[in-house]
Amino acid sequence: TADMLVHTWHKSGSSLCSLPAALLLLALAIAQPALPIVAAAAKTPVILIPGDGGSQVEARLDGKPWVPHYWCSKTTKDYFPIWLNLELLTYFTIDCFVDNFRLHFDNVTNISHNAPNVSIRVPNYGDTAAVEYFDVSRISASAYFSGLVAALTKQLGYTRNVSVRGVPFDFRRSPPDLDVENFDSNLLQLIESTCRDNGNRPALLVAHSYGNIMALRFLQRQSADWKRRHIRALLAVGAPLGGAVKTVRVVSSGDSLNIPFEKPLTIRPLQRSFTSSAFLMPQAPLWPPGEPFASRPGRNYSSSNYAEFFADIGFPEGLAMRLASLTDFDATKPPGVEVHCVHGDGLPTPGRFVWTSDEPGWADSQPGIVNDNGDGTVNERSLQACVKFWSGVQKQPVRSFVIDGAEHVKILRHAAFINYTLTLLSTFDAEQPQPQPLFYSSKAKTLPDENAEDRWL
């Protein structure tokens, strides 16, 4: 158009002496056949819901009444990164970290609270930066959703925080705990605003691990009409719908999380305090009463005797935490949207823990492991539950895609998973009507895209 040509001429720095030439170019442009300028097609927006440990978290210390060591701070001026912050996981700082980040369960209200005089917040809600890396330093070893986000932006032209969003949340908490944190209302508002910003296209929810529990619970609570208008599908990655045996060791003997030189018993108080840990333990019917997930001389523990298990490991309050965490949750009730169940397989995964000691304090020692099949973290039966529970029960399709050898977290960086997601989104976009021309210009195919580089950031 004339305005675009004049704008281009001004940007070139041409002098007034060039005005006749510019007018000649304008006349030639007007004489050329018009070509349509077509509005860019809106994309299926993507909402990323992370799993246990997958959200960056900040803390502020407001004059703590007690600290485990004299060098642990009692007060900070502002919020600081507490998860994941590798600097806090050293030999000298780990006790400070555990005391700051642990929860305190109220067995009257069945709700957890932060440590006294510690404020916790999850920053950057809606921002992919909060879920692309575990650690704020963004080192490659802490990559989480970063590979998928990079593929979306570079290969499909998605824009961070516009067409792809992140849903960080306080993963320490069980679903009922997160009700107090307004998880559902916050997610609903984010989905609705993101859909509006993307041509009212329904969104693809991409949930990983524990994030699938929160996504399922959220979808179960929404009306069919709302889901039809706002949710295109749920991509459930590594969904532990029946829990995971690996969590049994977390609450009994502790898990060092592969942190060098750290003892499991040092981190165990923190892990026991998470109501999400209590929730993620093996659940019936996938683990029937007759199948033990833990044993010691003369005693087996299964889904039928959790009370004895928690009492015997010296953590009786764990039973109340577990019972409270399961409130209003039913994994067999389908979400009422199209589902794609994606998970790894073929990796040794804890299927039962065996302690050889029957002495007092036996749970303080690390158990032997009887391996099962799974993705290294979640057992196969739990990963396959979304198909087992929902296929044929809801009218929407439930599909399965298994990636042999894909580990529970690394699957998010696996080429097969990323390609599956990109293909799925391309299929969704192809279903939509092609956009109509907004106006015509003879220079439509040759005008420079001044914002081309922005799409690749």
| Active site (catalytic) residues | 209, 375, 408
Helix (H, G, I), strand (E, B) or coil at 402: strand
**Of 150, 45, 56, 103, nearest to 413 (Cα)?**
150
What would the two tokens of residue 272 be?
């026991």
Distance CA 226, CA 48 (A): 19
Cα distances from 274 to residues 53, 108, 178, 181, in angstroms, run: 11, 17, 12, 15
Helix (H, G, I), strand (E, B) or coil at 213: helix
The answer to whether 133 and 142 have CB atoms below 8 angstroms apart is yes
Residues 6+ positions from 432 with CB-CB distance below 8 Å: 41, 42, 201
How many whole angstroms from its chain centre is CA 378? 16
**Of 126, 129, 125, nearest to 150 (Cα)?**
129
DSSP code of 407? -
Q: Is the peptide bond before 285 cis (omega within 30 degrees of 0)?
A: yes
The answer to whether 43 and 429 have CB atoms below 8 angstroms apart is yes
Residues 6+ positions from 299 with CB-CB distance below 8 Å: 308, 312
- Distance in angstroms between the alpha carbons of the first and the last residue of the chain: 29
The CB density around residue 326, as the number of other CB atoms within 10 Å, is 15
**H-only helix segments in 128-209:** 129-132, 146-155, 175-180, 183-197
Any idea of the CA torsion for 198, 203, 207, 213, to the nearest 10 degrees? 130
Distance CA 297, CA 198 (A): 60
Question: Per-residue b/e over 17-39, b at no fewer than 16 CB within 10 Å?
Answer: eeeeebeeeeeeeeeeeeeeeee
**Helices (H) and strands (E) in the chain — how many of each?**
17, 17
Distance CA 289, CA 282 (A): 11
Return the amino acid letter for 424. Answer: L
What H or E segment, with its residue span, contains residue 350? strand 347-354
How many whole angstroms from its chain centre is CA 300? 34
What would the two tokens of residue 374 be?
């799974």
